[in-house]
Amino acid sequence: MNRNTLYLLVGALIVVVIGLGVYVYNEQTKPKGVEIQVDKSGISIQEN
């Protein structure tokens, strides 16, 4: 395996780990409870 391929694999792994970390952080910081949205199509209520 040449060095460029190794660097590419390590870089891709770093990007995946950072992306997964951001996703988990966003999921953890979502407010719990009921979300009410009012827009042109009416009122929608979602339970988180």
For the chain, what is the radius of gyration of the CA atoms? 20
Contact (Cβ atoms closer than 8 angstroms) between residue 45 and residue 34: yes
The pLDDT assigned to 48 comes to: 67
What's the pLDDT band for 46 if we cut at 50, 70, 90? Answer: confident
Number of domains in the chain: 1
Domain region containing 8: 3-47
- Whole-model pTM above 0.75? no
Q: Which contacts qualify for 34-38: CB closer than 8 Å, 24 or more apart?
A: none
Tens of pLDDT along 11-45? Answer: 999 999 999 999 999 988 887 888 889 999 899 98
Whole-number Å distance between alpha carbons of 13 and 22:
14
> E-strand spans in the chain?
34-39, 42-47
Contact (Cβ atoms closer than 8 angstroms) between residue 36 and residue 47: no
